[in-house]
């Protein structure tokens, strides 16, 4: 059986924001689809979403739209991940 790697909270936040940004093109963001993509239990996903809303990275837990601050964070996050890859460092 393939072992699923445990992720750090910061990595989950980053992945979640990336998924939400990718989903923002759709008319409605379906939470179950997000849950399937992020691969965490529903109760924990709700907790992460409430954390993101509290940090001002998404508008609220209902609309799940990524705010300007969230987009800026995501740009920085992606740039740093790309930089780490170039530096030969993996983020597991």
Residues of 63-84 as b/e, b for ≥16 C-beta within 10 angstroms?
ebebbeebeebbeebeeebeee
List the one residue out of 81, 35, 74 whose CA is nearest residue 57: 74
Does 4 participate in binding another protein (rule CB under 8 A)? no
Q: How far is the CB of 10 from another protein (least distance, A)?
A: 5
User: Nearer to another protein by C-beta: 30 or 89?
Assistant: 89
Q: How far is the CB of 43 from another protein (least distance, A)?
A: 20
Q: Binding another protein by CB under 8 A: which of 10, 22, 30, 55?
A: 10
Does 76 participate in binding another protein (rule CB under 8 A)? yes
C-beta of residue 90 within 8 angstroms of C-beta of residue 33:
no
């Amino acid at each position: 059986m393939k072992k699923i790697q445990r992720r750090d909270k910061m990595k989950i936040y980053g992945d979640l924001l990336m998924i939400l940004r990718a989903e923002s093109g759709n008319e409605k963001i379906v939470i179950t689809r997000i849950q399937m993509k992020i691969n965490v239990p529903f109760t924990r996903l709700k907790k992460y979403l409430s954390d993101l809303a509290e940090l001002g990275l998404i508008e609220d837990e209902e609309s799940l739209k990524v705010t300007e601050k969230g987009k800026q964070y995501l740009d920085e996050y992606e740039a740093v991940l790309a930089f780490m890859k170039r530096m030969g460092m993996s983020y597991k």
